[in-house]
Amino acid sequence: MAGAAKVTVCEVETIVEVGELYPNNIHTPNIFIQRLIVGTKYEKRIEQLTIREQ
């Protein structure tokens, strides 16, 4: 979808240097991104401890 858009906005947690990311982990190539926003207050759901009640 990003390739067909006039403007693509990407929201990220942090900006990293070139080469710090593994290429297979990138979902949208940078050629399709026109705007970059560093977001705040991310809820990292996968890092929350979940256990079942006994």
Domain borders along the chain are 2-47
Residue 37: CB partners within 8 Å, gap ≥ 6? 9, 10, 11, 12
- Which of the four pLDDT bands, split at 50, 70 and 90, describes residue 47? low
Q: Write down the mean pLDDT value for the chain.
A: 84
Predicted local distance difference test score (pLDDT) of residue 41: 79
- Does pTM top 0.75 for this prediction? no
Q: What percent of the chain has pLDDT over 70?
A: 87
Predicted local distance difference test score (pLDDT) of residue 34: 92
